[in-house]
Chains A and B, each alone.
Chain A
């Protein structure tokens, strides 16, 4: 090599061990069994999904577990037109309010033309095969439309 150096790669990397704690561990274990477990705050009655063991607004422990069926409503979405590792554009990511939960979560929307995705659309999870399940959110491959009528605006207006 005789060409002068003009470019250099500078990697920045952090390796760390993540310990999810008791509430999140139960949530992750529930995913392994095809369930989604949230927790209800005894004071404000809001349901956290994923649960964190305490209500961040009321500052009290959230012991009561609520099993959610996984269906939900699109509250916000984004159509992405640039490629990402493992994703072919255009693809849709959406904030989904799961039925019974008071927090939205981000998932992919597939089996659907991106132009069809809209606020209020009813969606359901597509799980990986039971034999491949791990205690992580990768068990839900993506969400797809259920075909049900759209949820009324009042159902999700606080989450847009």
Chain B
């Protein structure tokens, strides 16, 4: 029987960065984020979908009518993330929420920097917090914060 050696541990990372073409609709959405303008798209039934999609979710028709929406809105549902991991929008506890922006008919998944879970409730108003040095990426929209905090 051989002696049990000290067990080794090594830190590994596996990473693959895709470079993808955005297409005209997502490209317009990202271009808008660079200018602090969130864009949705009008569906066949008249609803405004945010983020915009290329095809109608019901009829599958091509969609073209981009619509500017507000950068504030209402939390329609949320889940508290008490232990964020590397790469998430915030390095402190935050909420994942669906935010229905003013002028939109669908919820957009985003982080809400509420500070404490007790601050979160469905129906609350939140407003976008923008990054400095925006480049046309979803990360230009850092997160949402409680609208009252901006006073």
Contact = CB atoms under 8 A, between A and B. Distances in A.
A6 B11 contact: no
A5 B13 contact: no
A18 B15 contact: no
Query: Which label, helix, strand, loop or mixed, suits the secondary structure of the B interface?
Result: mixed
Interface string A11-44: 1111111111110111011000000000000000
Contact of B11 (A10, A15, A63): A15
A63 B1 contact: yes
A5 B31 contact: yes
Contacts of B13: 13-16
B122 to A, nearest CB: 31
Contact of B22 (A5, A22, A26): A5
A4 B8 contact: no
Contacts, number: 91
A8 interface: yes
Contacts of B125: none
B29 to A, nearest CB: 8
Interface in A99-142: 135-136
B107 interface: no
B8 A20 contact: yes
Contacts of B2: 26, 63, 65
A7 interface: yes
Contact of B16 (A7, A12, A19, A25): A12
B20 A18 contact: no
B22 A136 contact: no
A13 B31 contact: no
A15 B20 contact: no
A136 B12 CA distance: 13
Interface in B1-35: 1-2, 4-22, 26-28, 30-31, 34
Given A12-B15, A14-B15, A26-B2, A5 B136 contact: yes
A154 interface: no
Contacts of A10: 17-20
15 contacts: A1-B34, A4-B28, A5-B34, A7-B19, A7-B21, A9-B18, A12-B18, A13-B15, A13-B16, A17-B11, A17-B12, A19-B8, A25-B5, A25-B6, A28-B8
Given A15-B12, A17-B9, A63-B2, 8 more contacts: A10-B20, A11-B16, A13-B13, A14-B15, A18-B10, A18-B12, A28-B8, A63-B1
Interface of A: 1, 4-22, 24-26, 28-29, 63, 65, 135-136
